[in-house]
Amino acid sequence: MGLVELNLDANASYGTLPGLAEEALRLTRFGLNPSSIHRGGQGARALIEEARDSVAAAIGATSGVRIVFTSGATEANNMALMLPYWEALRGDSRQIHLLTTALEHPSVMEPARRLERLGVALSLARPQPMSALSSADVCQCLSPQTRLVSVMAANNETGEVFPVTEVASRARQAVPTVLVHTDAVQAFGKVPLAWDALAVDMLSISGHKIGALSGVGALVVRKENLAEAFLLGGPQEMHLRAGTENLIGIVSFGLAAQALVGEMAKRCDLMRRAVSVVRQVLTQELPNIEFNADNRERLPNTLSLRIPGLHADDLVAALDLEGIFVSSGAACASGKPEPSHVLLAMGMTAQAAKETLRISVRGDLGEDDARLAAQKVCSVVKRRPGGGAA
């Protein structure tokens, strides 16, 4: 009998839904250019528009939005941060301000730092040490020159859900012309996202986080915003993003979004059950375990935990040999010697951050598999010096 492999790193990539890749390939079998005016090209165009409608339905966006397909959430986040500042950068960039948080994904943090190097004033809101991020933490950093506020909907490392709607409301009360963006990549498919209720101007999502193929994402934009193109060279994506569309990727995104609409409640319930089993086993077997961002609103599929004295990267490698895939933070930061900037911004010490492990499950992980995975975690921990200490 071969090694059983279980994905407890679903926040890095959910994995393609069963049968989805084959169906996407069947639908796009000719791989024609959606910009071609012949019947085949127009058939490809129709598939893209169907996918656009499916993604809109999955976030409850019925009208008044543009869904711009991108190569992924990284591009969508870059687009959201850079576009509001391009016109302003032609003038005096010192007169404009960007507000985001110190807990964001690098695809928000790095474009924010680039804008800062170009002269944009940048503020990074932080929570009180070891406390939940509040709208007050964010909005106290506003200024009359704030053009954009970007706050993620849920953190990719801890699973903590952030008060985006409240931030949007308070920010607009203080600065009526401000734009609000949310990186909703981790929230999408794990908590209900209702576009109108969120009250944001831009929202980033990714296909492979909900079961689509990798290499496709979207920026959802209110129609009255962002008239200038991010990529130049063609009229694609409503003149906002030039380049031949990733047809099979976009179709797979639409199929995954359709599946999500039909099974969202069931998927989240299964996630919650699997995480409960994992937590119960770990708590029983490892008395010195600590859970990060505990007693806060969190994604149903995510646990951020620390076992004092054990380096998380070592546990990731040891568990890999057991067929259990977990992570020590964001996948894009894997292999870096520095501790997580998110955990440091929360108030954790560098040592504690390096001891933090992330477990994130799919919506089809059964309770038996969850228990098996947790038992393997315990076994690996107990084999390491100090791992079973009370």
- Extract the tokens encoding 342: 């998110």
Q: Spell out the SS3 assignment of the chain.
A: CCCCCEECECCCCCCCCCCHHHHHHHHCCCCCCCCCCCHHHHHHHHHHHHHHHHHHHHCCCCCCEEEEEECCHHHHHHHHHHHHHHHHHCCCHHHCEEEEECCCCHHHHHHHHHHHHCCCEEEEECCCCCCCCCHHHHHCCCCCCEEEEECCCECCCCCEECCHHHHHHHHHHHCCCCEEEEECCCCECCECCCHHHHCCCEEEEECCCCCCCCCCEEEEEECCCCCCCCECCCCCCCCCECCCCCHHHHHHHHHHHHHHHHHHHHHHHHHHHHHHHHHHHHHHHCCCCEECCCCCCECCCEEEEECCCCCHHHHHHHHHHCCEECECCCHHHCCCCCCCHHHHHHCCCHHHHHCEEEEECCCCCCHHHHHHHHHHHHHHHHHCCCCCCC
What is the separation of C-alpha 47 from the centre of its chain, rounded to a whole number of angstroms?
Answer: 25
CA distance 218 to 214: 12
The answer to whether residue 378 is catalytic is no
CA distance 29 to 26: 5
Catalytic residue among 139, 141, 268, 332: 332
- Other Cβ atoms closer than 10 A to 52: 21
Give the active site residues. 332
